[in-house]
Structure 1
Amino acid sequence: MKGLFVVIRVLANAAVAVLVVWILLRLLGANTGNPVVHWIEQAADWLAAWSRGIFQVAGTTLQLVLDYGLAALVYGVVGNLGARREWT
């Protein structure tokens, strides 16, 4: 059963990494025509589909951080806490 918790933690941290990298790429003005950047964009959009638009704010930078950062926070907390829980 320990292996399952390792997989959960790895997947949660991978999701967080994709979301954080996408936030950074957008903030730095990365070229979305690049195949790698485009793939990260698509993955981040899929991972954050449920959290985009929960909060509406005026600034585009803050909107970006809220939309994708909320998803990253939830995946990180839930995934890592769930993996730490000892099931007996």
Structure 2
Amino acid sequence: MSRRYGGSPAETVISIIVDIVILILWIALYLFDANTANTANSTVSWIHDTANLLSGWSRNLFTIQSDNWRTVVNYGLPAAVYLLIGHAVADRVNRT
């Protein structure tokens, strides 16, 4: 597990849940054509930048022609991995 998720188990689970929500939110904003080019829309820009940070290890792992599918895969894969990590942490917390 990464140092990013250090701290108490509850903090770790909450951090992972937030990461998943940000990634899924960015996928939804992209698919619904949120205006990311407008610099005045700082919320969408922040979500996009954070999703890029969280998915940096998996971006462009697959070459897909469709922009929509490429976004779903590039940001959905890390969301699924973080979900699995969250389940593992929660299971470990339940055992203690």
TM over 0.5: yes
Give the length in aligned residue pairs.
Answer: 86
- TM-score by structure 1 length? 0.89
CA-based RMSD: 1.6
Supply the distance in 2 between the matched residues of 1:24 and 1:56 (Cα, whole angstroms).
Answer: 20
- Structure 1 equivalent of residue 29 of structure 2: 25
Where structure 2 has 5 or more consecutive residues not aligned to the other structure, the ranges are 1-6
- TM-score by structure 2 length? 0.82
Alignment of 1:44-55 (within 5 A): 44-55=51-62
Which structure would you say has the larger RCO, counting Cα contacts within 8 Å and 6 or more residues apart?
1
- Structure 2 equivalent of residue 16 of structure 1: 20
Q: Quick check: 1:12–1:80 contact (8 Å CA) kept in 2?
A: no
Question: Percent identity among equivalent residues?
Answer: 35
- Structure 2 equivalent of residue 68 of structure 1: 75
| Displacement over 3 Å in runs of 4+ | none
